[in-house]
Chain A
Amino acid sequence: EVQLVQSGAEVKKPGESLRISCKGSGYSFTSYWISWVRQMPGKGLEWMGRIDPSDSYTNYSPSFQGHVTISADKSISTAYLQWSSLKASDTAMYYCARSSSTGSGWFDPWGQGTLVTVSS
């Protein structure tokens, strides 16, 4: 079974750093991209960026460029999303999703989500 398993919920203070993870299994991790998608409370889906685990090439949505970093460790089939200085506005559910390496844009499957709460 192809699946992505994300790390657990986090509660952080503004200014703190954070890295959340997404572990793939059941498929060749380097044959597909991994994207990260944000969903703020009660809102829609926003694509943040993606990584090609085979060579760690990344690209980001302009809305998130410079605010987050996406990385991957192909030896353990895991992708990461990290922040160096969290803001209250980063409070959201974050999903990772596998996408086609041909770039057609579909996402399947999705991880279960990681809820990040940033509050003083």
Chain B
Amino acid sequence: QSALTQPASVSGSPGQSITISCTGTSSDVGGYNYVSWYQQHPGKAPKLMIYDVSNRPSGVSNRFSGSKSGNTASLTISGLQAEDEADYYCSSYTSSSTPYVVFGGGTKLTVL
């Protein structure tokens, strides 16, 4: 069982917006502004999309945004495109000794 809880799947039509949630505890998501989000296409390595809750690395589309409320972080993708179809993972720093980073179980995004 993963330390952070994500929905197994979400879907949306092109042009729509979707939100993926990531729920943890006060020892990880709720306690620190160190939540990251990764996109992984089949057969490819993960790619950093959001770091420190809401920051986008250079080169990542501004259609991707992150937020946090309490022990739940969220990734929102607006203006869905076919290329957004992928698995998405959240991660968070944790103060629960080691590991120092915990991942969510992943969410499969399907663009209908």
Contacts and interface: CB of A to CB of B under 8 A. Distances in A.
**Are A and B co-members of a single complex?**
yes
A47 B100 CA distance: 9
Query: Which range holds the interface residue count of chain B?
Result: 20 to 34
A85 interface: no
Contacts of A50: 100
Contacts of A62: 98-99
Nearest to B45: A110
The interface centre, meaning the residue of A106, A108, A110, A112 with most chain B CB atoms within 10 A of its CB, is: A106
Interface in A88-120: 95, 97, 99, 103-113
Interface stretch (B14-22, B67-75, B77-85, B103-111): B103-111
Contacts, number: 72
Majority-rule SS of B interface residues: strand
Contact of B48 (A95, A107, A113): A107
Majority-rule SS of A interface residues: strand
B46 A95 contact: yes
Nearest to A102: B34
23 contacts: A37-B46, A44-B103, A47-B100, A49-B99, A59-B98, A59-B100, A60-B99, A62-B98, A62-B99, A95-B46, A97-B46, A99-B101, A103-B93, A103-B100, A104-B34, A104-B93, A105-B92, A106-B91, A107-B36, A108-B48, A108-B51, A109-B48, A111-B45
